[in-house]
Amino acid sequence: MPLVPARLEHDADGVLYSSAFGDFYHARDDALGQPHHVFLGGNGLPGRWQAREHFTIVETGFGAGLNFLTTWAAWRADPQRSARLHFVSVELHPFTVADLVSIHARWPQFAALADELHAQWPVLTPGLHRLNLDHGRVTLTLYLGEAAEGLAQLVTRADAFYLDGFAPAKNADLWSARVFHLLARLAAPGATLATWSVAGSVREGLRHAGFAVEKAPGFAGKWQMLRGGLERAPSAGTTAPAHAGARHALIIGAGIAGCTLAERLTERGWSVDLVDEAPVCAQGASGNLAGVMRPLPSLDDNRMSRLTRAGSLHGWRNIARLRRRGLELRAEACGVLHLGRDARQEEKMRAVVERLALPAAHLAYVDADTAAAIAGCAVASGGWWFADSGWVQPPSLCAASLAAAGARLRVHFGRRVARLEPGVDAWRALDADGRQIAEAPVAILAAGTGVRDLALAHALPVLSARGQVTHLPAAAGSAPRVVVCRGGYVSPAVDGLRCAGATFAVDDDDNGLRMADHLDNLAKLEAMLPGFAAHLDANCLDGRVGFRPASPDRLPMVGALPAAAATGALTAKGDIGARLATLPRAPGLYALSGYGARGLVWAALAAEWLASRLEGEPLPLTRDLGEAIDPARFLLRPPPGGRIEE
């Protein structure tokens, strides 16, 4: 269901109000007193988060974000605060960033925090959005959509609940029995809750879901509030840290997958040993001059559509985060045109835009004339316009990630891992002579197509997809001024060149440039931009060949590898999530693979997901999308036969 943003409205006294629900967003007399008294005080905060590594709060109804800002400020003011604070919230009608700026201007004490929130406020698209704030110490995970749908898809362990939102009589869906049972499923041991509502239906619903509640003195005009906690044992569905030992990881592969993960782990206090046979990072499939980072929508908003949307949006936030740290990174959100192959596909593309109803700044349909004006040159057709997408130089992203990792990262370049062996309490990376390169209790296979050379990766059906990119001479500012796609892609000018391509050939090991592939890339270019390739001589062109690790279903493979004994689960019954949960895994062994031609799209979000999984943090992907990228899925759903295509 398309998101409908909240309207910015106030009553005659200037109090933030919703005419759609006939209720106020906060207490009339003291907007910040209620969060302090009801939600912080009712959950025993700040005391309960003190001396903790992590503390997670789940909120129903983000609204104007005042509960979040109040909690964040209280956490910062506490010298005994937890190392990290996680705030997870659901919201059906989010405010636009412009409206939030206007709302938060009333509370100048939050100015610095609010500015940081506004800078990362997501495009208002359905699903989960992960915002890393306060130098990575505070994480806001927002689900935009129906509360019950979001809570059913969250993977987290809540230490405290804020039950907020419009009054039960005005917004019954947010106070339903289903919502209360879903909250109980997310509760960690000792979880508490607080709410300003003492309605009988709320008390009874919470008790039926397993919470013990009691009335307590309320705030301002409300005589009473509710506070309580989970009375029964937490659900087995809550997520514990995947790794509880020493926070030390061995990452094999210094391409975009491995470098991005190294940065996300070191920010969380991990030590990382990064091994690659090349002399520097990003020498394999991640070595191209420019790659495209944009989503791939679909009429039914399928898994690929949602994953590429989430990955692209998170990827651009990650780039902005690294740049705020002063790191050099080559990327430009210049926009991406995806042209239709013919009139029939153009109509389908128009229908997708109408069905999804996403913000026009993220996805719009443009006709051929508008597309030509955007590109600055003739185009073959109209199609999708992704105004917030663009190109990224993968080696610069890898280098920036490693620079951000700092002293907790130790690199081992020029070393090829011939074997990975389990020890008593660590995985050992050995070279061809049996000499140890590095060891750690957690090992992550991120070696691109090279992962196929490691015996322990037998469960990963990684395919090698040869891709040749053609380099074209280009003056700065010349057309096309944006990325253009249609069967292939062409970039704007980057350092005097533009990239055009790329071919996609499975199980083709030829690493030399081929004239036939240059001609294929030029043919794709001509089909996109009529007349553009007419003056180009393929005999005078350079380029680059890379081998991309692809998966049979075109989705990445991220997570714990199945153990050798996992084949017994093939006969298990139940949905795919339940079956995946029962599969035995190789202790401490994980994969980041199968990115195919979408390494830039997947990398940041996949690294955030795996780092969060290892730490036991709220996951930045919904439950169904996490299952869709599980490396063990092919044991339950064997890959289809035949050739895959990008």
Which CATH number is correct for 248-284+396-462+554-636, 3.40.50.720, 3.55.40.20, 3.50.50.60, 2.40.50.140? 3.50.50.60
The pLDDT tens digits for 74-101 are 999 999 999 999 999 999 999 999 999 9
Measured from the Cβ of residue 409, the count of other Cβ atoms closer than 10 Å reads 21
**pLDDT given at position 576:** 81
CA-based R_g, the chain, Å: 26
The pLDDT tens digits for 566-610 are 655 555 566 788 888 888 899 999 999 999 999 999 999 999 999
Higher pLDDT, 240 or 452: 452
Cα 641-644-646 angle, rounded to 5 deg:
165
**pLDDT given at position 567:** 59
**DSSP of 339-381:** E-SSHHHHHHHHHHHHHH---TTT-EEE-HHHHHHHHTS--S-
The CA distances from residue 52 to 80, 189, 503, in Å, are 9, 14, 50
Cα(250)–Cα(443) distance, integer angstroms: 5
**pLDDT given at position 638:** 58
First to last CA, the chain: 28
Measured from the Cβ of residue 631, the count of other Cβ atoms closer than 10 Å reads 28
Q: What confidence category does residue 235 fall into, taking pLDDT thresholds of 50, 70 and 90?
A: low
Q: What confidence category does residue 646 fall into, taking pLDDT thresholds of 50, 70 and 90?
A: very low
Q: What confidence category does residue 240 fall into, taking pLDDT thresholds of 50, 70 and 90?
A: low
**pLDDT given at position 642:** 39
Which residues sit opposite 86 in a β-bridge?
56, 139
Task: Read off φ and ψ for residue 528, nearest 5 degrees.
Answer: -80, -50
Q: How are beta strands 383-386 and 336-339 bridged, if at all?
A: antiparallel
Cis peptide before 480 (omega within 30 of 0): yes
pLDDT score of 363 more than 80: yes
119 Cα distance to chain centroid:
17
Higher pLDDT, 309 or 535: 309
> Hey, what are 47's tokens?
């005391």
Which residue do the tokens 């009608």 mark?
93
**pLDDT given at position 176:** 97
**pLDDT given at position 121:** 98
Cα(547)–Cα(448) distance, integer angstroms: 8
Answer yes or no: are the C-beta atoms of 612 and 261 closer than 8 Å. Answer: no
Q: How are beta strands 557-562 and 585-593 bridged, if at all?
A: antiparallel
The fourth-level CATH superfamily of domain 9-230 is Vaccinia Virus protein VP39 (3.40.50.150)
The pLDDT tens digits for 317-353 are 999 999 999 999 999 999 999 999 999 999 999 999 9
Q: What confidence category does residue 220 fall into, taking pLDDT thresholds of 50, 70 and 90?
A: confident
**pLDDT given at position 353:** 98
Least confident of 252-261, 428-437, 558-567: 558-567
pLDDT score of 245 more than 90: no
pLDDT score of 507 more than 90: no
The pLDDT tens digits for 308-326 are 999 999 999 999 999 999 9
The residue ranges of every structural domain in the chain are 9-230, 248-284+396-462+554-636, 336-387+463-550
pLDDT score of 238 more than 60: no
Task: Give which of 444, 417, 420, 451 is closest to 549, Cα–Cα.
Answer: 451
Instruction: Give me the CATH topology for the region 336-387+463-550.
Output: D-Amino Acid Oxidase; Chain A, domain 2 (3.30.9)
**pLDDT given at position 531:** 94
Q: Which long-range contacts (CB under 8 A, 24 or more apart) does 422-429 make?
A: 422/586, 422/587, 422/589, 425/245, 427/250, 427/588, 427/589, 429/250, 429/252, 429/273, 429/275
Measured from the Cβ of residue 305, the count of other Cβ atoms closer than 10 Å reads 17
Higher pLDDT, 144 or 14: 144
Least confident of 98-112, 212-226, 485-499: 212-226
pLDDT score of 644 more than 50: no
The pLDDT tens digits for 371-405 are 999 999 999 999 999 999 999 999 999 999 999 99
Which residues sit opposite 501 in a β-bridge?
489
**pLDDT given at position 250:** 98
pLDDT score of 639 more than 60: no
